[in-house]
Amino acid sequence: MEFKFIETNGITLRAAVEGEGPLVIMVHGCPESWFSWRHQIPVIAEAGYKVVAIDVRGYGGSDKPHAIEEYTLKKLSDDVVGVIDFFGEEQAILFGHDWGAPIVWYTSLLNENRVSAVAGLSVPYFPQGDVSPMDAFEAIFEDKFFYMIYFQEEGVAESEFEPNLRKYLESTYFSADGRGMKKQFESPFNVSDKGPEAKYLDNVIQFDDYPKWINHDEMNYLINEFENSGMRGPLNRYRAQRKDFDDLKAYKDKKLKQPAALMVGSLDPVNFFVGEGYKDTADLKANFEPVYENLISVELIDDVGHWTQQEAPKQVNEFLLNFLKQI
């Protein structure tokens, strides 16, 4: 594996690159980096693909524009297209997790001829509707704490997280994985019970030990990445959602055309934002198949939380390899 610095869309992205063959671009979520794909990069490369796992703008070794409008889905999609251009390809296969999933879904929607297939982990494709997601969340969580609402005011979350990066990252990772979600379900006090005046790190789920899917050295690598990059870029992605709504109105209710795959952990907190989760793979498929024209692979993984490809690398690798064989 090597790092390359890719000029795209007026900025420079750092990417981990391995293998030769058809181009596969991996896009991470928040708060992560290319490193969240460390278990997938060598496996997909060995299967005969050129794997490019980027640091999304605002993260790691990539450029970090200051303005909120630099973090819209349109901007991030153009970044991905620029990566395809950099490697001299007409098309690429895209994999995304967490925020990386909407990025790859919308790159596919906005650039249909540049994406041959697309897979998302954790976050399904949600077409644009009649209401901005942030307006909907503010109505739903009017009298409760919700992290996306807390992130909206510039500087507030930065001033809480940046002096406390270890606590922020450990609590975010450990509260949203399978173990953390089980503890939340068993606890008489749930994070969602916090009032709107609370801070993110108030009453967070904590453990005395690390989960099996990440070790201290890996955590230290991620902490170092955010010590160098700061938190404004990652938080600006949340702040750009209203601009997304304005930018993408023309795509209201539009289905994705490319061959697609969706994998979700049964305990992923995203499943419970406004519902009670999914009973099984069939239930997950029934909920989201209508928004895809060619959803060829779907799986709900038992006992896995939000950090899908890190918590269950073997299952994710098998799922992605099987998807690649079908397209």
| CA-derived radius of gyration, the chain | 18
Give whole-number Cα distances, 116 to 23, 126, 287, 322, in Å.
10, 19, 24, 16
Q: Determine how many CB atoms are found less than 10 A away from the CB of residue 207.
A: 14
Lowest mean pLDDT, pick from 145-154, 183-192, 236-245: 183-192
Mean pLDDT of 1-10: 97
Residue 23 is predicted with a pLDDT of 98
Q: Which residues pair with 50 in a beta bridge?
A: 23
Residue 206 is predicted with a pLDDT of 85
Active site residues: 98, 306
Residue-wise pLDDT for 281-318, tens only, equals: 999 999 999 999 999 999 999 999 999 999 999 999 99
Fold (topology level) of 2-129+254-326: Rossmann fold (3.40.50)
Q: For residue 96, which phi and psi values (nearest 5 degrees)?
A: -140, 150
Mean pLDDT of 50-55: 98
Nearest to 159 by CA among 247, 241, 221, 235: 235
Work out the percent of the chain whose per-residue pLDDT is above 90. Answer: 92
- Omega of the bond leading into 188 within 30 degrees of 0 (cis): no
Sheet hosting strand 50-54, strand order edge to edge:
2-8, 11-18, 50-54, 23-27, 92-97, 115-121, 260-265, 295-301
State the Cα angle at 112 between 110 and 113, rounded to 5°.
130
pLDDT band at 84 (very low <50, low <70, confident <90, very high): very high
Q: Is pTM beyond 0.75 here? A: yes
Residue-wise pLDDT for 88-145, tens only, equals: 999 999 999 999 999 999 999 999 999 999 999 999 999 999 999 999 999 999 899 9
Domain with CATH 3.40.50.1820 in the chain: 2-129+254-326
| Res 191 pLDDT > 60 | no
